[in-house]
Every structure is written in C-alpha cells, then in structure tokens.
Amino acid sequence: MKQIWEFPIARTEEQVIEMPMGWGALDIQTQNGHPYLWAIVDPSAKKSKCKFHVIRTGWPFDNDGLTYLGTWQDSGGTYVWHLFYEWNP
C-alpha cells in the first residue's frame, strides 16, 4: 500500500535526501514557512539517497541530467525557488 510522505527541502543548492525507491513527486510548497516536497511512496521499499538541486530565479545552473519538480515562493514572493532532481548523482 502506498502513502504520501513529506520531505523537508533546504534552501541550499544541492542536498541528498533518503527516500523509498520508486517515489513519485506530487507537489512542492511551503508549510509554516518551510519548503516541503510531497511524494507518493511505498513505505516498504528499500531507501536510496536522492540528490536534489534548489535553484533560485536568476541563478546560473546546468540542467543536464536534471528533472524539474516544482517551484515555490517565500518571503511574500520575494524569493522564487525551483526544485530539480538529479537522476544519476
């Protein structure tokens, strides 16, 4: 049986999050002022380390091998962030 889990996202350019294999991204939004990724997971699946990239609007980056997952705003829209997943870290 699948579940929906939330994963906190740091506002750092790169981060690794341990997640159940086969996860599927649903959305990214702020909750209580902090960004989270919501994903469908199989809680019994083996966990793997997943590499994510957080890019702020206007920052240069190389998107080769990255998949866009979503965008969120914080500080009343002052900052706009974009989350990407690296398939082959």
**Domain edges within the chain:** 3-86
pLDDT, one tens digit per residue, over 13-42 is: 899 999 999 999 999 999 998 999 999 999
Name which residue leads in pLDDT, 40 or 63. 40
pTM of the model: 0.89
With 0-12 / 13-18 / 19 or more C-beta atoms within 10 angstroms meaning exposed / middle / buried, residue 43 is exposed
Mean confidence (pLDDT) of the chain: 93
Mean pLDDT, residues 44-59: 95
Task: Tell which residue, 84, 79, 85, 86, has the closest CA to residue 34.
Answer: 79
Name which residue leads in pLDDT, 87 or 45. 45
